[in-house]
Amino acid sequence: AQKVTQAQTEISVVEKEDVTLDCVYETRDTTYYLFWYKQPPSGELVFLIRRNSFDEQNEISGRYSWNFQKSTSSFNFTITASQVVDSAVYFCALSETNTGNQFYFGTGTSLTVIP
């Protein structure tokens, strides 16, 4: 069973639009961590954010914001006023403390920002 689901395979938006990338996860652990990574065309995975399961506060960092809701097992990522440089594949990942902290990645959402 897929532990992390990113239902949106590809999204295209026009520059300056807001866009939300969805992430739904599945775990039986009470302690776990959720992550978002960006993978630009160069291929390197760039860390964006980490949340632990006990902290449901939403977080904002510049144009990025994250909405963590345990009730719906979701950890969505919103980019405000998108820019062409935001074009990349974005991965959501889950780390469970009972499995050696390996990451379970979703299949990624490819975001294209059109100028």
Residues that bind other proteins (CB under 8 A): 4, 33, 35, 37, 42-45, 47, 50, 52, 91, 93, 97, 99-108
Phi and psi at 72, nearest 5°, equal -115, 5
Q: Whose Cβ is closer to other proteins: residue 100's or residue 115's? A: 100
| CB neighbour class for 77 (10 Å; exposed up to 12, middle 13-18, buried from 19) | buried
Tokens coding 107: 């299949």
Q: Whose Cβ is closer to other proteins: residue 44's or residue 57's? A: 44
Output the smallest distance, CB 43 to other proteins, in A: 6
Tokens coding 115: 């100028």
Q: Whose Cβ is closer to other proteins: residue 75's or residue 91's? A: 91
Q: Which of 80, 82, 63, 75 is nearest to 27 (CA)?
A: 75
Output the smallest distance, CB 78 to other proteins, in A: 20
Output the smallest distance, CB 19 to other proteins, in A: 19
- How many residues are given for the chain? 115
